[in-house]
Chains A and B, each alone.
Chain A
Amino acid sequence: MPAPKPIHVLSDHVINKIAAGEVVERPASVVKELVENALDAGATQIEVEAVGGGRQLVAITDNGCGMGRDDALLAIERHATSKIQDVDDIEHVATLGFRGEALAAISAVSHFTLTTRPAADLAGTELVIAGGKLADVKDAGCPPGTRIEARRLFFNVPARRKFLRADATELAHIRQMFVVYALAHPEVGWRLVVDGREAMRLAAGATLGDRLRDIVGADLARQLRPLDLTRHDITVRGYAGQPAAARQDRTEQYVFINGRPASAAAIYHAINEGYHTLLPPGRHAPIFLFIEVDPEQVDVNVHPTKKEVRFRQPGAIRDAVIEAIRRALQPTPTTGITSSLLTMPPPTTAIAASAEQQIKLLIPDLPPPRTFQFPGLPMLPPSAPPPTAVPGAAPPAAAPTPAQELKNAAHSPWLWCRVLGQVGGLYVVLETEDGLVLMDPHAAHERVLFEQLLKQYTSHAVKSQGLLAPETVELLPATAEAVRENLPLLREMGFGLADFGGDAFIVDALPACLGGASSRAVLAAIAESLAKGGARGGSARAVEEAVAQAACKAAVKARDVLRLDEIEQLVVALARAEMPYTCPHGRPTIIFTSYGELHRKFGRA
């Protein structure tokens, strides 16, 4: 048995080094901590400089409020901060930092120089610290604001230094960190200097849309739809990508909570739910999510670097995010602009309003979504309530206001297109204004039928087509049970269905939009998915799944050779669909190759 070692209190020096291990993990963490300080100091211009992947130098210069000499000396002490006073303040902290650890931690593991001047003072202060020991304090001439340099990071912690990756990797982390904060604060001007060369310059006072276009490029920016939802005290803003832009991982999903980059399992779950039926499992659409919520509803003090946050009411946040995404991607159905003239308000206002809205339509924040106008009849409010309506029931919903309709001018994938033919007896080739489109007719038809049936189902206007001779459909015991449990749901979907005893059912009507599909195939497919879905629960999802299965069975088969007019009909119907890019199971319906890409491939760039 080893002799007991005496217990002693660690020196501040050691404590700082240990704390530094939590806060400063790599050069990018230095960038994060110092950028947050700069933002908390109210800077409108921030410059990030890195040399040698941040190993040799990380420097952040801001034009924020700066510090006087006394404050500067205090700031480098551990747990010294201006951001909170006592523990209650943590509850509603509105600044990015508050722990008062960053400067102490960084200065403990680097050659640290802090130069700062409040705008009101004549002279600035320069502090030089090496490995946590204050080496020099002197006056310095400098512009208002603060510049902090951290050289030779981890020079006194070889263990940590060994874990740093190649310069390029560390630089990539710094750039990522830079991008995250630049996105979170489009109003601030940013500059990134790498090894003495300017790598990125972002103008101050930008909107989020501008900033996104600068950072992710115009191609991706075009595929983004604005999110805007306020529900109680939760606001969800930002941009959600079209499913077509999805990728294998979450690297293009950015979540900001009260301006703070953060992640929370509840939010990622909500994003997945929002894209349900639009993306296959394992695909993630780009999303830039800005959630504003009462600071008291969030606990940011979970993780030393505040990467993870917790919510008091994760359910409410989740619902808000799901709804925001759904709204952005599946806007209310729209028809032509003319409809605004048919709701018949006084003529003068109607024309004025529609003119104004047209202008809005033409100059949105982002490059306009590609519009597709079809010769279609404008929407009319039903002139009489449907005969089946119960007397005294609520009148038919008022026609959507023109503004609503115009807001989401058709979100078709193309302005015009021409059907070139079908290849391999399967894929349809289309020419559009921007390039070449390959369409999978089965997936496309599935999407069209899915939306039709779901729309009819949710508006309780399902039309069903009677069958000449009722068919008896015999199912497996497990699926039969699922059908029996969901008889009301299936009847609402338009199935004329009766229990025939045993595991058999009598079908005397089918949802009309399923066309000539056989009742046996459709019912069996739905029953199977219901039986499987029983474990998953969630009735809204069960409906979607059932409708998706029905659509799948009724859609044209993969090997059907289609006539030209059938293809054209399908193309038009798909372009009208709310979510034309994927089938209800999330597989793509169309693959787009732009002329630019073709030119590149043919070396015509």
Chain B
Amino acid sequence: MKKFAILALALALIASSAFAQTTIEFWHAMAGKNDEMVRSIADKFNASQKDYKVVPVFKGSYSECMNAGIAAFRANAAPAIIQVYEVGTATMMAAKGAVKPVYQLMAENSEKFDPKAYIPTITGYYSTSKGEMLSMPFNSSTAVMYYSKEAFKKAGLDPEKAPATWPEFFEAAKKIKAAGYEGGFTTDWISWIQLENFSAWHNVPFGTRNNGFDGLDTQLVFNSPLVIRHLQNIYDQSKNKVFIYGGREGKAQPLFQTGQVGMCFASIGSYGNMKATCKFDFGVAMLPYYPDVPNAPQNSIIGGASLWVFQGKSKAEYKAVAEFFSFLSTPEIQSYWHTNTGYLPITTAAYEYTKAQGFYKTNPGPEVAIQQLLKKAPTGNSMGIRFGNFNIIREIEDQVWEDILAGKISVKDGVNKMVQDGNKTLRDFERLNK
């Protein structure tokens, strides 16, 4: 009997020590250096207190991570926190029974939480039209222009002054090509940069209903003369090799890094990568605009991912998530993340903090991106994009853009096709989620 008593006591001890700490899983899609940073932040959080433990789990690419989360949810084995890329936002929002809105979570756990402390263009992307934040912004970036100062010098351009407007930009690109470069410029992410950000930056609608923020009955409307003119300009430059196509998503930037072109549009999230690979001095500038468009430039929009919380967790687990989110939002942690990864800080306090540390004196690039996001107070056209099946829409745009460049379809017909086919997928989503 005595033996049993000791055993019971031992068990009770184990149990109580296990219950004292709540462990939550955090599934993410950050690879390489960013993965290390995620683990380092979790370690810092775990060391900062004793009650909760966050365990980050790398789940592959963005889409693999999201799929793993969906499958886990269906099998009742979902993690507490999952990182979902921006194109998955509408899908997550529509999954009402599956996610717990962050604003609710923070209120229930009486965490100090002021959505106004965050940079509006960043939180806006993940909030309802009433301003309720549904997910926690995590890694945010925006599109900027990288230019080689070396190329500018060779082409007789001022290396400290990047072209501000598109007409100036195309002139500069032609000069760079004439100076012996393979081409003038290239661009990553044709859909995100040259369509979505382009529309926001010129304060023109990408879709109706405030780019989908106000309802699932949104329609794509970017087949406007302005967008057609812009893509036509790029297409024309592709004919004389001033523009070189480098592939979908982030596949074009090697053209810039290897010095084949002098200018490149890419995410500010690539800043670290650019610094590591470019053997020449480069600058970061804001996106160009067309000067004849009233109110341009407006502000650019973000890309990246946010953290979603699944339904069906215990009170203690939600408390742990809330604590972790508060920890994540502190200026120190935000600045740590920002300066090490290139992703943007999500609060204005973190921006000021980083500035006070003198980081931007040696790294002016990321500040350009922040200023671009804060250029003006966001409008319905520049708050963000919220479409169901957004992934498919981007894919359609990528495919049609390749057909345009290959000369299979005219720019005008191509843009109209993007809109038509995109609208079909929007209707599919509406039908399933109304």
The answer on A and B forming one complex is: no
- The chain A residues found within 8 Å of chain B, CB to CB, are none
